[in-house]
Structure 1
Amino acid sequence: MNDITADTPQPVPLLEDDRLDALFEFLDSERVSEEALDLFGAHGLLTALAISTVSHDRDERHALIFDTTPDFESNQQRQETLDALDALLTNAVEVFENGNIPDLPFDLEFEDSGEDDEEHPVRLWCAGFMEGVFLDEAAWFGAQEETAAELLLPFMTLSGLFDEEDPELAALGQQPTEATRLAGQLAELTLDLYLLQRAPVEKPTPAASKGKNPKGKSGSKGKSRGPGKRH
């Protein structure tokens, strides 16, 4: 057995498999708007909201996910669905507070099939994540804009949201090998972003700074695959 140090971030699921599957089926159903986020987008959005220092109340979070009020089959289904979304957010905060990383509930690999992969779960998740960033841009970038932008670059590249305005970024994200490499960084980058949001800004001392030069709508319902890694 390999020894794992206490400082090594461990991947932790944000929701139990049965609740994740039920949430996937509901968000993929006709009971929600075509503009609603699917499971992957919702998971990305809530992960971003867990990182942000700006709080959003329950109704606002649910409105961001559903777009319009879903046609719940029963009060029980409504309660279970909303509770699952709330638990996902709460668990994400706990995971980050413990110095761990979220276990992303989908395959991170991009295949060189030549087919359009806009509905790849990674792209939908990153688009949802970036939607959470757009809500509170001032807080995300703040006094450490350059570092935040660097950490967010893989999310931006894979989300597909910037393809039209940045063809170079789009081309990078469309290369299967590079996209897979970037996708493999996402979970650890979420912890880096969480720590960046909460780390005090340290002003360099004169001795330390001497001689240094200063440096100059997410995807809607995806139909590609279920949430688990059980392929």
Structure 2
Amino acid sequence: MSQPPHASEAAPAQPLLDDEQLDRLDDFLDSDQVGEDALDLISAHGFLVALAVAPSELTPTQWLAELFQGEPAYRDDAERDEIIGLLIQLRDNAMAVLEQGGLPELPFELTLDGLPAEETPIGDWCAGFMEGVFCDESAWFEEGEEDAAQLLLPFMLLSGLFDDEPDMAELIEDGVQQESFVKQLPELVLDLYLHYRVPPETPKPKPRKKSPSRQQKRR
């Protein structure tokens, strides 16, 4: 399997929520108010960044069902509005950063430190990202399937969700390549976003030869 194209150069990464907002989401997603199958903060962050990148837009009702896997036990309507508002804000901020050509700040250090990806927050984040892709998988591969697969390869590899795929075996053993993928993750997010929004270059049409005017024909 070939490697993805080299990621583009860009400015320093930008946080999508402040520390207090992230702590609030972390506390809620780690509480008994949500089911065991709900995404935690790291996975939810990856999931929402994928929704920001996605070529199709899902309604909050659709993606909240995937994120929570059931209705949380909100204390009241105010808490429901607060939590959903923070999740939407994270996604919208990711879209705004990417639209400006910026890089999203990811909630972990960009290194595996010799550990298998699935044992790190990086693996959790990439698994959450792929859950976002699965929400509308056909849209991600509808056009430019090969390019999309190339750009998604690092997310797939680091998520640990595809370890049984024969094509992944060589990359799973290549710790240096995995570490390289980790360092490129913010740039690869931007590359994916641009892949779905910047039309491919097309050859310029050749100028048409001018046909002689009627008056010239009469001469």
Q: Which TM-score band applies after superposition, normalised by the shorter structure?
A: 0.7 to 0.9
Question: 2:136 maps to what in 1?
Answer: 136
Q: Normalising by the residue count of structure 2, what TM-score does the alignment of the two structures yield? A: 0.81
Question: 2:210 maps to what in 1?
Answer: none
CA distance in 2: counterparts of 1:117 and 1:151, whole angstroms: 18
Note closer, same or farther for the CA distance 1:118–1:174 as it changes in structure 2 (3 Å cut). farther
Gapped regions of structure 2 (runs ≥ 5): 1-8, 207-219
Question: 1:159 maps to what in 2?
Answer: 159
| Number of equivalences | 198
Question: 1:65 maps to what in 2?
Answer: 67
Q: Amino acid of the residue matched to residue 134 of structure 2?
A: F
Question: 1:19 maps to what in 2?
Answer: 21
CA distance in 2: counterparts of 1:170 and 1:27, whole angstroms: 33
- Does residue 1:37 correspond to 2:36, yes or no? no
1:153 to partner: Cα distance: 0.8
Note closer, same or farther for the CA distance 1:99–1:126 as it changes in structure 2 (3 Å cut). same
1:63 to partner: Cα distance: 0.9
94-103 vs 54-63, which moves further: 54-63
Q: Amino acid of the residue matched to residue 50 of structure 1?
A: A
1:144 to partner: Cα distance: 1.3
Question: 2:126 maps to what in 1?
Answer: 126
Aligned CA RMSD, in angstroms, stands at 2.2
1:206 to partner: Cα distance: 9.8
Note closer, same or farther for the CA distance 1:189–1:24 as it changes in structure 2 (3 Å cut). same
Gapped regions of structure 1 (runs ≥ 5): 1-6, 208-231
- Does residue 1:78 correspond to 2:109, yes or no? no
1:139 to partner: Cα distance: 2.3
| Preserved contact between residue 35 and residue 68 of structure 2 (Cα < 8 Å) | yes
CA distance in 1: counterparts of 2:141 and 2:117, whole angstroms: 29
Question: 1:183 maps to what in 2?
Answer: 182
CA distance in 2: counterparts of 1:186 and 1:19, whole angstroms: 23
Matches within 5 A, 1:80-99: 80-99=82-101
| Preserved contact between residue 44 and residue 125 of structure 1 (Cα < 8 Å) | yes
Q: Amino acid of the residue matched to residue 111 of structure 1?
A: D
Per-residue Cα deviation, 1:99-157 (whole angstroms, up to 9, x for no partner): 101000112221336xx663411111111111222222332223311211111111011
Question: 2:212 maps to what in 1?
Answer: none
Question: 1:199 maps to what in 2?
Answer: 198
Note closer, same or farther for the CA distance 1:205–1:109 as it changes in structure 2 (3 Å cut). same
Answer with 1 or 2: which has the greater Rg.
Answer: 2
Per-residue Cα deviation, 1:167-206 (whole angstroms, up to 9, x for no partner): x525634655433321111110111111110111334479
Question: 2:211 maps to what in 1?
Answer: none
**Highest RCO, 1 vs 2 (Cα 8 Å, sep ≥ 6):** 1
Question: 2:4 maps to what in 1?
Answer: none
Per-residue Cα deviation, 1:73-116 (whole angstroms, up to 9, x for no partner): 33333222111101001101100111101000112221336xx6
Q: Normalising by the residue count of structure 1, what TM-score does the alignment of the two structures yield? A: 0.77
Give the secondary-structure state (helix, strand or coil) at the position aligned to 1:184.
Answer: helix
Question: 2:48 maps to what in 1?
Answer: 46
